[in-house]
Amino acid sequence: GDSVTQMEGPVTLSEEAFLTINCTYTATGYPSLFWYVQYPGEGLQLLLKATKADDKGSNKGFEATYRKETTSFHLEKGSVQVSDSAVYFCALGGRGGSNYKLTFGKGTLLTVNP
């Protein structure tokens, strides 16, 4: 069945450091890929998505590229801020951006220190 494996945390960085959170997936067909973020005390929010191979999703300085050849969707940000401290989830959905039945990774806790 479908599955998502993401980098174990926690990850601790200093402000302005470069961030990478690795995510790989196993799926049949043409899945869509998502990154969700959960800030302390808040619900999950969609950060970015990509619906087909080679698409790049971006939002708030975060980027991720859908790589079908390596079945990966790594999250990157060039310069993190304290306000980026949160739990990040990689998720797999259906074709064409379908998100009615998402498969999530375990989440990666990011802490950014000033």
User: DSSP string covering 50-74, please?
Assistant: E-STT-EEEETTEEEE-BTTTTB--
106 sits near another protein (criterion: CB under 8 A) = yes
**Which position has the token pair 């990774």?**
105
Report the alpha-carbon distance of residue 49 to residue 21 in Å, rounded: 15
101 sits near another protein (criterion: CB under 8 A) = yes
105 sits near another protein (criterion: CB under 8 A) = yes
Taking CB under 8 A as the criterion, the residue among 79, 83, 98, 113 binding another protein is 98
Q: Which positions lie near another protein, rule CB under 8 A?
A: 4, 32, 41-46, 51, 89, 91, 94, 96-107
